[in-house]
């Protein structure tokens, strides 16, 4: 009964389907008639006495060619009619959209771990290579719009989740721009629309997991975005104050970098929060895991400190890359080299979490401004060179050189992955960009 109703709707006048179905049937009839006529001629059966055998062959071949042409035209127009409602979500020619979609669907399974502004940068580049992307995002943010919603509504901070969902969507899509719109005045001043949307949807559906799935569907994203944990978690840091050996305990992510000192250690509060199972499973089944880029202490480590994440990274068979930041961050990584970033990760989560370090080796002055301090390379003969593969490349964005260029970064990541799968030696070499 249901199938009959669906067929009746499909054949409703005015929806542009029946005419192309009829034309398709006509094309198929012409092909069948041409083949049958050619078979009769081959069997020396002549239906038209006045026509020479060569002419009869020509009639049969003409009918076949004409039928194929009519059928092909009907299939194209039928596809356009059926796909019209979905075409609004994609730009470009149908064949280009289908080709790109299928190529991305067959791409490798990639997990990217981080938060802040760094993670969306790498996602914008990776989504052109594969649709099998999972972003595992920190939920320790307690400042800005996310912090307000977290305190007032009791939800996981949606800001990093929102930014990464938007990064996996079409940047030019109106819904994506609406999702990133931030109110400037009134009681909603400072709130991003996407934060409010995710919070409201979590209330309607009863869970942040369902809210994220529905949000991803609305924006038609290439991949998925998952929280590192579903539990309420905060950051605490022991900070060594400048000009003294005195240390203080700072609670709350937004206050850590404002202390103005050097971060000695970081921990989660509570310390035993468990990883979201879907995030762990994504890591275990990945072909490639990318850690970073992002703020070392407030975007990357909050994920790795969640119980189950570092363990999954050690257990997975995926190739694991740590992407070091292009520039140091005031109040967080002042004076850090690439080696200092790696050593800080080791102090907090131990070794074996990643295999290769990808770092920038270009230090442009144009557009850099006076506040940009680039992260310097690993010193010669440093101890980490014995434990990790090290790769350098120009990863800087031309307009904002303190950040990664999404295309350069994704290209370098996939070159690393391809060379690793091919069994090429990777130790401390330069990627040509």
* pLDDT value for 231: 95
- Cis bond before residue 233 (omega within 30° of 0): no
As given in the structure block, the two tokens for residue 323 are 């992407």
* pLDDT value for 60: 74
Structure confidence by residue, pLDDT tens digits, 403-429: 999 999 999 999 999 998 887 655 444
Q: Rounded CA gap, 319 and 289, in Å?
A: 6
Considering only residues 46 and 136, tell me which one the structure prediction assigns the higher pLDDT.
136
As given in the structure block, the two tokens for residue 45 are 């059966």
Q: Which residues contact 187 (CB under 8 A, 6 or more apart)?
A: none
Q: In what order do the strands lie in the sheet with 247-251?
A: 247-251, 234-240, 262-269
Q: Average model confidence (pLDDT) for the chain?
A: 85
Could you please report the per-residue DSSP string of 18-41? HHHHHHHHHHHHHHHHHHHHHHHH
User: Are the C-beta atoms of residues 17 and 11 closer than 8 Å to each other?
Assistant: yes
Structure confidence by residue, pLDDT tens digits, 391-402: 999 999 999 999
User: Are the C-beta atoms of residues 331 and 371 closer than 8 Å to each other?
Assistant: no
Least confident window among 7-16, 146-155, 252-261: 7-16
Decide if pLDDT at 314 tops 50: yes
Structure confidence by residue, pLDDT tens digits, 157-187: 999 999 999 999 887 678 888 888 999 988 8
Q: In what order do the strands lie in the sheet with 110-114?
A: 224-227, 133-137, 110-114, 288-291, 319-323, 356-360, 389-393, 429-430
Could you please report the per-residue DSSP string of 176-210? HHHHT-B--SSTTTT-BHHHHHHHHHHHHHSSHHH
Please compute, for residue 277, the number of CA atoms within 13 A of its CA located in the half-sphere on the CB side. 0
Structure confidence by residue, pLDDT tens digits, 52-70: 666 666 777 888 888 888 8
Q: 102-235+268-430: what fold?
A: Rossmann fold (3.40.50)
Least confident window among 105-119, 285-299, 354-368: 105-119
Per-residue pLDDT band at 212 (split at 50, 70, 90): very high
User: Are the C-beta atoms of residues 195 and 159 closer than 8 Å to each other?
Assistant: yes
Which of 98, 85, 75 shows the shortest CA–CA distance to 27? 75
Per-residue pLDDT band at 122 (split at 50, 70, 90): very high
Task: Match 């970064």 to its residue by tokens.
Answer: 409
Could you please report the per-residue DSSP string of 108-148? PPEEEEE-TTHHHHHHHHHTTT-S-EEEEE-----SHHHHH
SS3 state at 291:
strand
The C-alpha angle 251, 252, 254, rounded to 5 degrees, equals: 135
State the pTM of this model: 0.77
* pLDDT value for 88: 47
Decide if pLDDT at 363 tops 60: yes
* pLDDT value for 131: 87
Least confident window among 93-102, 220-229, 317-326: 93-102
* pLDDT value for 45: 64
């Amino acid at each position: 009964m249901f199938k009959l109703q669906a067929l009746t709707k499909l054949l409703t006048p005015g929806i542009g389907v029946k005419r192309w179905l009829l034309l398709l049937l006509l094309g198929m009839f012409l092909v069948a008639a041409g083949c049958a006529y050619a078979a009769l001629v081959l069997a020396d059966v002549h239906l038209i006495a006045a026509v020479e055998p060569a002419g009869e062959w020509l009639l049969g071949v003409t009918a076949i060619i004409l039928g194929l042409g009519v059928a092909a035209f009907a299939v194209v127009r039928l596809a356009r009619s059926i796909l019209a409602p979905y075409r609004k979500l994609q730009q470009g020619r149908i064949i280009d959209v289908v080709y790109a979609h299928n190529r991305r669907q067959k791409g490798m399974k990639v997990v990217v771990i981080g938060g802040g502004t760094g993670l969306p940068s790498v996602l914008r580049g990776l989504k052109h290579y594969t649709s099998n992307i999972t972003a595992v995002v920190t939920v320790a943010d307690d400042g800005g719009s996310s912090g307000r919603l977290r305190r007032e509504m009791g939800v996981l901070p949606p800001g990093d989740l929102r930014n990464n969902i938007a990064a996996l969507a079409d940047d030019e899509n109106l819904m994506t721009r609406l999702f990133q719109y931030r109110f400037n005045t009134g009681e909603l001043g400072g709130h991003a629309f996407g934060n409010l949307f995710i919070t409201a949807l979590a209330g309607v559906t009863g869970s942040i997991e369902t809210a994220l799935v529905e949000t991803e569907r609305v924006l038609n994203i290439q991949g998925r975005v998952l929280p590192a944990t579903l539990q309420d978690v905060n950051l605490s840091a022991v900070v060594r104050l400048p000009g003294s050996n005195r240390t203080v305990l700072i609670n709350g992510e937004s206050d850590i970098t404002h202390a103005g000192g050097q971060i000695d250690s970081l921990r989660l509060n509570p310390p035993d929060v468990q990883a979201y199972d879907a995030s762990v499973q994504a890591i275990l089944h990945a072909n490639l895991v990318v850690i970073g880029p992002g703020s070392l202490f407030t975007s990357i480590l909050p994920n790795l400190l969640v119980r189950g994440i570092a363990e999954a990274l050690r257990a997975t068979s995926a190739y694991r890359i740590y992407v070091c930041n292009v520039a140091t961050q005031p109040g967080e990584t002042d004076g850090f080299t690439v080696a200092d970033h790696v050593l800080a990760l080791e102090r907090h989560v131990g070794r074996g979490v990643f295999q290769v370090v990808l770092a920038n080796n270009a230090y442009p002055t144009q557009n850099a401004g006076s506040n940009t301090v680039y992260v310097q390379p690993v010193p010669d003969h440093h101890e980490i060179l014995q434990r990790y593969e090290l790769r350098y490349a120009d990863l800087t964005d031309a307009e904002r050189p303190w950040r990664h260029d999404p295309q350069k970064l994704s290209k370098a990541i996939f070159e690393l992955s391809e060379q690793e799968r091919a069994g090429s030696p990777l130790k401390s070499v330069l990627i040509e960009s």
